[in-house]
Amino acid sequence: MKVTVNKTKVIEMKHVELTYETDSRQVYALQNINLEIEEGSFVCVLGPSGCGKTSLLRIIAGFQQPTSGDVLLDGKSMSPKPDRHRGVVFQQHTLYPWLNIKENVEFGLKMRKVSAEERNQTVKHYLDMVGLSQFSQSAPYELSGGMKQRASIARVLANDPRIVLMDEPFGALDAITKEQMQENVRKIWKETHKTFFFITHDVEEALLLGTHIVVMSARPGRIIKEMHSPIPYEIEEGQSRKYRSSETFIDLREEIINLITH
């Protein structure tokens, strides 16, 4: 007997279209986007510059309304306003400079009037997870770029979102820090079992992180291919570099590059 596992869909996008209207012109940004994001998956969105990746993330985050189509969160029409269930990590960190790292991470919890004891436990848990326990009293300016991004991830996770949205979060980091951050995020994803939605233009990054890879066409952005990859489950901690030369990795990389460039 075939057993079918009905996985929970955190996000469903149905026939989503987006046209930006400016004073001088219309920009047809997204065309008929149909996407299902399963709980616990790590979705990576890849595509040429200007294809609408950030627009897609902004719609899921609630920063942008689609022109038409439906977006569901846990099967229900999504609130048109951003909320803590959809936490965003941007390319440039958005930590408050006047708060220390602990205060930044506990900010959302404080707004929700979570007790001091629970706030302390939660902040400690996530600062430990991102390796910043020693820096809880530091100001954001005292941290390196990679550390600031780790603090931003801890801040989002502390709010216990349904989905973590990341818009090219490592785009401004040097190559070695970027590689370490990829390892960190994959480890965090495995530990938290959270659902991630991650935008990148780096094919190798998508392969090292994505269990569900979404490839988009040039504008107007359409989904031209979706792939389900075993790679992030298989890579052992610290083994990314070795994995890049594996046959599965090289074949998938070639397939994606061909899709994007043709």
Ligand X SMILES: Nc1ncnc2c1ncn2[C@@H]1O[C@H](COP(=O)(O)OP(=O)(O)OP(=O)(O)O)[C@@H](O)[C@H]1O
Q: Which residues bind ligand X (CB under 6 A)?
A: 20, 22, 27, 29, 47, 49-55, 201, 219
Tell the smallest beta-carbon distance from residue 170 to ligand X (Å). 14
Q: Are 73 and 10 a contacting pair, CB within 8 Å?
A: yes
- Of the pair 164, 215, the CB lying nearest ligand X is at 215
DSSP-assigned letters across all residues of 203-261? HHHHHHH-SEEEEEPSSSB-EEEEEE-SHHHHPPTT-HHHHTTSHHHHHHHHHHHHHHH
CA dihedral 14, 69, 31, 259 (to 10 degrees): -20
CA angle 53, 58, 61 (to 5 degrees): 130
Tell the smallest beta-carbon distance from residue 106 to ligand X (Å): 31
CB 203, min distance to ligand X, A = 13
Considering the complex, what minimum distance in angstroms separates the CB of residue 80 from ligand X?
Answer: 17
Q: Which is nearer to ligand X, 101 or 260 (CB)?
A: 260
CA distance 234 to 193: 15
Q: Please give the Cα distance from 99 to 107 (Å, whole number).
A: 9
Q: Which is nearer to ligand X, 47 or 161 (CB)?
A: 47
Distance in Å, CB of 123 to ligand X, minimum: 32
For ligand X, which is the closer residue by CB, 51 or 89?
51
Q: Which residue, 136 or 217, is less far from ligand X as judged by CB?
A: 217
CB of 105 to ligand X, least distance (A): 27
* HEC letters along 113-139: CCCHHHHHHHHHHHHHHCCCHHHCCCC
Give 51 or 157: the residue with its C-beta nearer to ligand X.
51
Distance CA 170, CA 158 (A): 20
